[in-house]
Amino acid sequence: MARPPVLPGPRPEWLKIRIPAPEVVAEVESLIREQRLVTVCEEARCPNLHECWGVHRTATFMLMGDTCTRHCGFCNVGKGRPGELDPQEPQRVAEAVARLGLRFAVVTSVNRDDLEDGGAGHFATTIQWIRTLSPPCGIEVLIPDFKGNEAALQTVLGARPDVLNHNVETVPHLYRRVRPDADYEQSLTLLLRTATWRDAHSPDLRVKSGIMVGLGETPEQVLELMADWRRSRVDIATIGQYLPPSELHLPLHRFVEPSEFDMYARKGLEMGFQRVESAPLVRSSYHAGNDFGGRSPRNQA
Nearest CA to 105 out of 68, 59, 48, 156 is that of 59
Query: Residue 137 annotated as binding?
Result: no
Please state, in angstroms and rounded to a whole number, the distance separating the CA atoms of residues 235 and 20. 30
Find the angle CA(267)-CA(206)-CA(232) to the nearest 5 degrees: 60
Burial class (CB in 10 A: 0-12, 13-18, 19+), 222: buried
Three-state DSSP state, 12: coil
Query: CB of 144 within 8 A of CB of 118?
Result: yes
* Amino acid identity, position 145: D
Q: List beta partners, residue 211.
A: 169, 239
**H helix or E strand, kind and range, residue 49:** helix 49-51
Residue 160: count of CB within 10 angstroms of its CB: 17
Binding residues for [4Fe-4S] cluster, by number, are 41, 46, 52, 68, 72, 75, 285
Binding residues, by number, are 41, 46, 52, 68, 72, 75, 285
